[in-house]
């Protein structure tokens, strides 16, 4: 057996695919986007199957788009479905008619599969039956569902304590599946329920909870159309939430000013042609952003504070014209000390730390000064930093001084990622459950759930690495590639006795595994679910707290797939047996029963079964929206924080890891990043032209990127240097190729989210001779 066969490489292969460059696109979307999406769907799924899926995507009575969590309009829906290019791609990826037969695994060893790139792996097809990798084996082989559950039950049963098992969730899992999953895990006896949210909007949840008393955003889609100003920080909606552009365009038409704060001039944010309207076809009104503040990576807190200082000054000059004094007095806490602290700061210093010219910050403050209805939107550009929680609280400070929360047209809008990541948390996927939630479980289900907090993602990796956890179970996702410090995470997974993945498609987490490994193939969103002999539907909560039903419409590619709720029920029976207080078969027969139990356990789901059947679903309660703040003081809190000083050593750059246009997280649909003008290559590092020159490099050079956080060296090789309009001292690479460089120990304070947007690196010219010696 060769070394490589024993140790498949956890990284994407270093192969280059042939970079081509075009200019950065000036306008996003338009007809070409829709054409490319249709082409992709029909290529993967065939014309009939593909069209069937597309026609039901985001239609009332159809299925929820498996891509992002942006909401659908409450009542209107366009003739052809409300979807975007990237939603269609997500469907194409899932609805593919290709499937992996046992023969595929006979032909391809685990190591051979690991030599494929993420793009190539994704193209192989849907997993079509449960697969098992015995200890020491080189190939996966088919296994029956019963034997698979028995093996998992056995491995869980022989642990010293339930806390030696880890149960991960990705954010596509429906409310129904997620609720049953956490119920099983808690009856089994642990709160080890890390989820993708730990790497995503956890910082938003923590910040909003502490400042405003609810860990979710406060705005609805309708608020966009009443807003006077919309600030978008650290988000690339043209690629990651394309339907948001339609909302922004409409908001702008109604008079909103749009301010973008980003190190990159992201095409979609700058200008957008709406493919679903006549203007889109005719190319009218494409400009979205009114003011673009090109912030340095993590310069946002300084920028916000500078703007706030200027607003305070303007208020002094014209009392009563800028601040909402009544709101501040009646609804908030800590204003005076916050103001005093802020006024000690120096505007020049703040502007310098933000990387934005003082004049531009002033212009922004002048625009905001008379406005009363402001919405702030943000995503990963803010959440994945050491001081993420404080930066988000700084956004809240700005909204609070303007009284821009709890009223129409104003408020917080953390734009969620996975289509049901918010719902999963609502129904109990959380490693730190509240006492009231645990009490409700105990009262309704007759067992005492564990009170001790479980592991989040970072803690879970450490626990596996230190030999404190031996079984890893994933409800979806791609833990190996989505998490930081890829090589260390690989070691952690490889130390496990058993790793289990509930999945639709192959990914690297199936190939870097524990001593034994099992793949359980499940339905995707688009698949028709006839569990219990009747057609079932599930439900999801979008980024604005609307719960809607989702009905799969396609014939599953194989008769051996199970739904996620069915997998949980069968796993619970195999693991807990008679010990369980719960009749799992009831849930298997009828998902209404699951929803009844969610309703009994979690506030806000009254008449769940009735309301979820209404077209458009229903809103969950949101205290901010109702003008309340469920903090201990019942008031909204001003937060005092200081922007961190970045002291880079000579040669160091700050690297952010971002998404290209052709991927959904670790699923790589294609090799282009069309709007950024980067084609057919993902191993690139986007650098400022001055930084390239200073290092005696030139565009097209091959480089190795090195991080040395905490005294250990992390390196990726063979990345291509690209000049890009990014601030000096900053650079960008794609997730997940660059995750090797993200240190596990570098996390956000309070939320423990890996700092995937702030990785200090050095760029070295790739030395071919050195690498040949290796
Ligand atoms: N098509 C598609 N849709 C997706 C996804 C996908 O991969 N593909 N992923 C889904 C998921 S799970 C999520 S969480 C979201 C992610 O959505 P985004 O957060 O938009 O995704 P990223 O590519 O990580 O983009 C981060 C943006 O923040 C900017 N940025 C980076 N650092 C900073 C900073 O310090 N300050 C500021 N102001 N900006 C910064 C980057 O330039 C970039 O524009 O999208 C969801 N939707
Ligand atoms: N460096 C860096 N790392 C990051 C980020 C970053 O910006 N930079 N972003 C982070 C963020 S925001 C997130 S959310 C995480 C994402 O982390 P994950 O959610 O773990 O990763 P995904 O790539 O979304 O998972 C894709 C896999 O999910 C499976 N899948 C797809 N649909 C279904 C389904 O319906 N059911 C089941 N059971 N499985 C399904 C498929 O097998 C597919 O391969 O990554 C994080 N990691
Ligand atoms: Mo995410």
The answer, yes or no, to whether the previous bond of 455 is cis (omega within 30 of 0) is no
233 CB less than 6 Å from ligand 1?
Answer: yes
Residues 370 and 461 placed together within one structural domain of the fold: no
Question: For residue 667, which atom of ligand 2 is closest to its CA?
Answer: 23
CB-based contact 244:251 (threshold 8 Å): no
Residues 410 and 431 placed together within one structural domain of the fold: no
Residues 320 and 294 placed together within one structural domain of the fold: yes
726 CB less than 6 Å from ligand 1?
Answer: no
Q: What pTM, to 2 d.p., does this model score?
A: 0.96
Strand partners, 229: 257, 374
Residues 346 and 369 placed together within one structural domain of the fold: yes
| Nearest ligand to the C-alpha atom of residue 66 | 2
266 CB less than 6 Å from ligand 1?
Answer: yes
Residues 81 and 126 placed together within one structural domain of the fold: yes
418 CB less than 6 Å from ligand 2?
Answer: yes
Of 542, 656, 672, the one to substitute when testing ligand 1's pocket (max ligand atoms within 8 A of C-beta) is 656
298 CB less than 6 Å from ligand 1?
Answer: yes
Positions in the chain whose pLDDT score sits under 50: 77-81, 278, 281-284, 770-774
Q: How many secondary structure helices (H) and strands (E) does the chain include?
A: 33, 30
Q: What is the pLDDT of residue 276?
A: 56
Give the separation between CA 651 and CA 763, rounded to whole angstroms: 8
Cα of 658 from ligand 3 centre, angstroms = 11
In this structure, which residues have their CB less than 5 angstroms from ion ligand 3? 200, 417
196 CB less than 6 Å from ligand 2?
Answer: yes
Q: Note down the domain range covering 570.
A: 35-187+427-613
Q: What is the pLDDT of residue 773?
A: 41
- Return the CATH number at 180: 3.40.50.740
239 CB less than 6 Å from ligand 1?
Answer: yes
For residue 672, the 8-state DSSP code is: -
Q: What is the CA radius of gyration of the chain?
A: 25
Q: How far is CA 321 from CA 226, 317, 368, 371, 397, in A?
A: 20, 9, 11, 9, 18
Give the separation between CA 116 and CA 119, rounded to whole angstroms: 8
733 CB less than 6 Å from ligand 2?
Answer: no
198 CB less than 6 Å from ligand 1?
Answer: no
Q: What is the largest CA-CA distance in the chain?
A: 79
Q: Residue 550 is inside which H or E element, if any? A: strand 546-550
Q: How far is CA 466 from CA 194, 352, 470, 495, in A?
A: 17, 42, 10, 9
739 CB less than 6 Å from ligand 1?
Answer: no
Does residue 49 lie within any of the structural domains?
yes
Give the separation between CA 224 and CA 410, rounded to whole angstroms: 8
Q: What is the pLDDT of residue 278?
A: 47
Residues 11 and 116 placed together within one structural domain of the fold: no
Does residue 23 lie within any of the structural domains?
no
**Residue after which a domain boundary falls, among 386, 414, 442:** 414
Reduced DSSP (H G I as helix, E B as strand, rest coil) percent helix, strand, coil of the chain, to 5 = 40, 20, 45
Residues 180 and 322 placed together within one structural domain of the fold: no
Number of compact structural domains in the chain: 3
Cα of 201 from ligand 3 centre, angstroms = 7
Does residue 637 lie within any of the structural domains?
no
Strand partners, 378: 233, 414
| Residues whose CB is less than 8 angstroms from the CB of residue 58 and which lie 6 or more positions away in sequence, other chains included | 64, 65, 72, 77, 81, 82, 83, 87
Which two three-digit tokens encode residue 452? 């001790």
Which residue's C-alpha comes closest to atom 4 of ligand 2?
Answer: 482
Q: How far is CA 387 from CA 206, 207, 394, 513, 654, in A?
A: 12, 11, 11, 33, 15
| Residues whose CB is less than 8 angstroms from the CB of residue 573 and which lie 6 or more positions away in sequence, other chains included | 149, 580, 584, 585
- Return the CATH number at 671: 2.40.40.20
Q: What is the pLDDT of residue 351?
A: 97
Question: For residue 90, which atom of ligand 1 is closest to its CA?
Answer: 1
Does residue 48 lie within any of the structural domains?
yes
Cα of 402 from ligand 1 centre, angstroms = 27
Q: Which of 197, 240, 213 is nearest to 427 (CA)?
A: 197
Q: What is the pLDDT of residue 282?
A: 46
Which residue's C-alpha comes closest to atom 37 of ligand 1?
Answer: 234
Does residue 81 lie within any of the structural domains?
yes
Which two three-digit tokens encode residue 243? 């339907």
DSSP, residue by residue, 402-420: TT-SSSTT-EEEE---BTT
Residues 605 and 754 placed together within one structural domain of the fold: no
381 CB less than 6 Å from ligand 1?
Answer: yes
Given its phi and psi angles, is residue 403 left (phi above 0), alpha (psi -120 to 50 degrees) or beta?
left
Q: What is the pLDDT of residue 80?
A: 45
């Amino acid at each position: 057996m060769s070394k490589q066969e024993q140790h498949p490489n956890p990284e994407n292969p270093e192969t280059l695919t042939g970079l081509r460059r075009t200019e950065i696109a000036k306008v996003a979307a338009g007809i070409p986007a829709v054409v490319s999406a249709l082409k992709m769907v029909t290529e993967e799924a065939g014309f009939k199957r593909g069209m069937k899926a597309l026609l039901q995507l985001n239609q009332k009575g159809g299925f929820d788009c498996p891509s992002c969590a942006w909401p659908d309009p409450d009542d209107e829906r366009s003739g052809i479905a409300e979807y975007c290019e990237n939603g269609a791609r997500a469907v194409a990826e899932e609805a593919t008619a290709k499937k992996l037969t046992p023969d595929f695994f006979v032909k391809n060893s685990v190591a051979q599969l690991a030599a494929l790139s993420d793009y190539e792996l994704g193209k192989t097809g849907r997993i079509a039956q449960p697969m098992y990798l015995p200890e020491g084996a080189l190939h996966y082989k088919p296994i029956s569902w019963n034997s698979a559950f028995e093996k998992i039950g056995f491995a869980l049963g022989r642990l010293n304590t339930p806390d030696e098992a880890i149960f991960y969730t990705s954010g596509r899992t429906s409310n129904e599946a997620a609720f049953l999953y956490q119920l099983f895990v808690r009856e089994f006896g642990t709160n080890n329920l890390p989820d993708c949210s730990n790497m995503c909007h956890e910082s938003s949840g923590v910040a909003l909870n502490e400042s405003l008393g609810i860990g979710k955003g406060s705005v609805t889609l309708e608020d966009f159309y009443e807003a006077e100003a919309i600030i978008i920080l650290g988000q690339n909606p043209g690629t990651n939430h394309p339907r948001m552009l339609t909302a922004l365009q409409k908001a702008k038409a109604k008079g909103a000013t749009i301010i973008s704060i980003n190190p990159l001039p992201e095409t979609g944010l700058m200008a957008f042609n709406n493919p679903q309207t006549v203007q889109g076809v005719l190319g009218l009104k494409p400009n979205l952003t009114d003011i673009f503040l090109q912030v340095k990576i993590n310069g946002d807190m300084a920028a916000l504070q500078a703007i706030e200082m200027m607003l305070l000054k303007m208020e002094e000059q014209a009392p009563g014209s800028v601040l909402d004094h009544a709101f501040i007095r009646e609804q908030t806490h800590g204003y005076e000390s916050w103001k005093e602290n802020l006024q000690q700061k120096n505007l020049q210093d703040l502007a310098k730390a933000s990387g934005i010219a003082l004049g531009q910050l002033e212009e922004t403050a002048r625009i905001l000064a008379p406005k009363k209805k402001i919405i702030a939107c943000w995503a990963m550009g803010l959440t994945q930093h050491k001081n993420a929680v404080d930066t988000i609280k700084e956004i809240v400070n700005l909204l609070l001084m303007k009284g821009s929360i709890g009223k129409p047209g104003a408020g917080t809008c953390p734009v969620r990622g996975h289509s049901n990541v918010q719902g999963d948390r609502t129904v109990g996927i959380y490693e730190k459950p509240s006492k009231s939630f645990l009490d409700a479980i105990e009262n309704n289900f007759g067992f005492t759930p564990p009170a001790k907090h479980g592991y989040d993602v970072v803690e879970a990796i450490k626990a596996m690495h230190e030999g404190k956890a031996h079984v890893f179970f994933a409800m979806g996702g791609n833990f190996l590639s989505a998490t930081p410090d890829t090589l260390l995470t690989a070691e952690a997974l490889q130390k496990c006795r058993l790793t289990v993945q509930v999945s639709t498609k192959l990914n690297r987490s199936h190939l870097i595994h524990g001593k034994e490994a099992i793949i359980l193939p499940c339905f995707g969103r688009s698949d028709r679910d006839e569990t219990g002999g009747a057609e079932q539907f599930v439900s999801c909560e979008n980024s604005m707290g609307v719960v809607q039903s989702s009905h799969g419409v396609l014939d599953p590619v194989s008769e051996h797939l199970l739904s996620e709720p069915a997998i949980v029920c069968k796993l619970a029976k195999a693991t807990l047996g008679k010990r369980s207080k719960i009749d799992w078969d009831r849930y298997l027969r009828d998902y209404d029963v699951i929803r009844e139990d969610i309703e009994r356990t979690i506030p806000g789901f009254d008449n769940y079964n009735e309301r979820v059947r209404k077209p458009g679903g229903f809103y969950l309660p949101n205290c901010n929206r109702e003008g309340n703040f469920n903090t201990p003081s019942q008031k909204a809190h001003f937060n005092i924080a200081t922007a961190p000083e970045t002291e880079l050593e000579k040669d160091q750059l700050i690297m952010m890891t971002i998404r290209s246009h052709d991927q959904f997280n670790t699923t790589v649909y294609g090799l282009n990043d069309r709007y950024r003008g980067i084609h057919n290559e993902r191993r690139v590092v986007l650098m400022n032209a001055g930084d390239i020159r200073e290092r005696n490099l030139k565009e097209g050079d091959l480089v190795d990127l090195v991080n040395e956080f905490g005294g250990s060296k992390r390196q990726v090789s063979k990345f291509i240097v690209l000049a890009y309009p990014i601030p000096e001292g900053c650079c960008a690479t794609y997730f997940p190729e660059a995750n090797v460089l993200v240190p596990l120990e570098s996390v956000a304070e309070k939320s423990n989210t890996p700092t995937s947007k702030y990785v200090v690196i050095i760029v070295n010219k790739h030395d071919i001779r050195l690498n040949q010696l290796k």
